[in-house]
Chains A and B, each alone.
Chain A
């Protein structure tokens, strides 16, 4: 069974840091691009970041560039999002996802982990 399980979401003060993790199982993690997508409470979806299979290419939405870093550990089947200098507008449910864009195969999503940035 395919699973993507996010963790690491928490309440953090503005300016703080957090690292999200996404544990992948049931598919060949190292074969696919991976993504983070977020959704602020009551709002729409926003793509956050992509990372290539070997980590050699990474892309970010402008609002997180220089503050967030996407990474992966193919040996452990984990995806990460290091979030620094957090702002109130980063408050959202964060989903990890695979095969969700151009792939002809079934998309995979986690259940999400909630990040709240507030003093």
Chain B
């Protein structure tokens, strides 16, 4: 199985900060990588697919980059509604695998 190593596991930041979350795949996954946001008690919501394509309706402060084995999610200027848990997902090979998650908290 492809292991997805996500870092950091938690992050404390302020409104207006720029933050970056990283996912590293145990083997190459081309650009078959998505990013998901989940708020407590809610279903996940997709932000990014194919490494860097922004889901319709998602604010442009979210961006994704990378290729092969290393990928990043960047939030350019944190807003209050962005405090949540973020997950990466590889869908290059079955079984699909998620990263462990990054909990983004208010400083």
A residues within 8 Å of B by Cβ? Answer: 37, 44-47, 50, 59-62, 95, 97, 100-107, 109-112
Report if A95-B1 is in contact (Cβ < 8 Å); known contacts: A44-B98, A101-B49, A102-B32.
Answer: no
CB pair B101 A44 closer than 8 Å:
yes
Q: Give 7 A-B pairs besides A102-B32, A105-B56, A107-B45 with Cβ atoms closer than 8 angstroms.
A: A45-B38, A45-B44, A46-B98, A47-B95, A60-B95, A61-B95, A107-B55
Compute the total of residue contacts between A and B using a CB distance below 8 Å.
Answer: 58
Indicate which residue in A37, A62, A103, A104 contacts B44 across the interface (CB closer than 8 Å).
Answer: A37
Interface of chain B, helix or strand or loop or mixed?
loop
Chain A residues, CB < 8 A from B36: 45
CB pair A62 B53 closer than 8 Å:
no
